[in-house]
Amino acid sequence: MSTATLIIDLNAIRANWRALDAKSAAETAAVVKANGYGLDATRVATALAKEGARQFFIAVAEEGHSVRNAVGQEAKICVFSGHMQGDTDLIRENNLVPMINSVDQLLRHVELLPDHSFGIQLDTGMNRLGLEPAEWQAVRELVLRLKPQLIMSHLACADEIHHPMNTKQLQVFKDLTSDLTIPKSLSATGGILLGADFHFDLTRPGIGLYGGLPFHDSQSVVKLDIPVIQIRDVETGESVGYGNTWTAPLPRKIATVSAGYADGIFRVMGSAATLYANGTACPVVGRISMDMIGVDVSDVETPIQSLQFINETHGIDKLAKDAGTISYEILTSLGRRYQRRYI
Ligand SMILES: *Cc1c(COP(=O)(O)O)cnc(C)c1O
């Protein structure tokens, strides 16, 4: 079989949730949007519900059905995108809590699901989702009478501890909500690490659960093992792969492994990428193809069946760096054709 194996450690996700939970007095939710950052929202939510998580966040109402089945009827599932046209049945049937982002959404919700719970999202400066401060002032009294379950906002720069935007948004959030007794939430993974001022009643970690920065102390969650299809000797001056972009400076042993950019191994990583034969680093040579990559395994003494692309020491943030992106994009791009093993 030449399909690569992606190993997903659900116990590490549980441990990461526990570790983030221990950092605050607040309740700790779990963000499982985008199919649990690409790792399977059903399995992640099931594991975290067992660990004690009682609130889950998804991006869109369509993600609610599978998460509801995973976590049972008691857990709360909140939808960041709020109540969009066409969402009403999904919200009712799966008992989702839409985070209302605009006056339009508020009116839609009140009209179509008058007795159904909801939360409010405020924009405190990111300008992505949420009611603007002036809109909030305009609808505040009406909203408070309807008893929202949660009032939240989102930090734009929480992965940079000293970024002035953090305290600026914190102040705006406090100004808008300090007189309210409704549960409040401001922080994702980055905000949890900024300290108690940012925690309020509920935190909403995502990436830290899945082993990504800025949670430096997280346990790694994914490992990727890619079978070697063939190994060949390449003479000095011979080239490897499309476009002849790499030429052997001396005799080399080249392995062709069975995964490529169609599996989320971004072509832009090129020769920055490294695979591992147990402990030995093996550089990528030539261009990354759709389903194959050439790797220099000259330094490996023992016979090899496969190479590791993601392991304990070479994690999702290293890959992200090589691709000029963030670990979130690495995770959510992981290939659909990998054989996935959950441990
Ligand atoms: C994605 C998201 C989160 C989780 O963020 P992480 O950085 O992955 O912890 C929390 N809140 C909102 C509004 C989000 O969009």
Note the pLDDT tens digit of each residue in 263-290: 999 999 988 899 999 989 999 999 999 9
pLDDT of 1: 81
Query: What residue owns the CA closest to ligand 1's atom 6?
Result: 206
pLDDT of 80: 98
Residue spans of beta strands (DSSP E) within 45-160 = 55-58, 76-79, 96-100, 119-121, 151-152
- Measured CA to CA, the distance from residue 332 to residue 327 in angstroms comes to 9
Q: What is the CATH number of domain 222-342?
A: 2.40.37.10
Dist. CA 170 → ligand 1 center (Å)? 16
Please state the atom number of ligand 1 nearest to the C-alpha of residue 33.
1
56 lines ligand 1 (CB under 6 A): no
Query: What residue owns the CA closest to ligand 1's atom 10?
Result: 188
Q: What is the mean pLDDT of each run of 10 residues along the chain (343 residues)?
A: 95 98 97 98 98 98 98 97 98 98 98 97 97 96 96 98 98 97 98 98 98 97 98 97 96 98 95 93 97 97 95 95 97 96 97
Is 242 tagged catalytic? Answer: yes
User: 119-121 and 30-31: which strand pairing?
Assistant: unpaired
Residues 6+ apart with CB under 8 A from 187: 155, 158, 194, 198, 199, 200, 203, 204
Contact yes or no for 289/260 (Cβ under 8 A): yes
Whole-prediction pTM: 0.96
Q: Which residue among 23, 33, 76, 184 is the active-site one?
A: 33
**Counts for the chain of helices (H) and strands (E), in that order:** 11, 19
Q: How many CA atoms lie within 13 A of 101 on its CB side?
A: 16
pLDDT of 271: 85
Tokens 């046209």 identify what position?
A: 85
205 lines ligand 1 (CB under 6 A): yes
Query: What residue owns the CA closest to ligand 1's atom 11?
Result: 188
- Measured CA to CA, the distance from residue 130 to residue 102 in angstroms comes to 6
Task: Give Cα separations from 232 to 188, 238, 297, 313 (angstroms).
Answer: 48, 12, 10, 27
Question: Dihedral of the CA atoms 30, 224, 213, 57 (nearest 10)?
Answer: -20
Q: What is the pLDDT of residues 13-38, one digit of tens each?
A: 999 999 999 999 999 999 999 999 99
154 lines ligand 1 (CB under 6 A): yes
pLDDT of 178: 96
Angle of the 133-145 helix axis to the 103-112 helix axis, nearest 10: 20
- CB neighbours (10 Å) of residue 6? 25
pLDDT of 18: 98
- Token pair belonging to 153: 């906002």
Query: What residue owns the CA closest to ligand 1's atom 12?
Result: 154
Tokens 């072509």 identify what position?
A: 267
Domain topology for 9-210: TIM Barrel (3.20.20)
pLDDT of 209: 98
pLDDT of 272: 87
DSSP string, 216-264: TTPPP-EEEEEEEEEEEEE-TT-EESGGG-EE-SS-EEEEEES--GGGT
- Measured CA to CA, the distance from residue 7 to residue 36 in angstroms comes to 15
Is 168 tagged catalytic? Answer: no
pLDDT of 338: 97
Residue boundaries of the structural domains of the chain = 9-210, 222-342
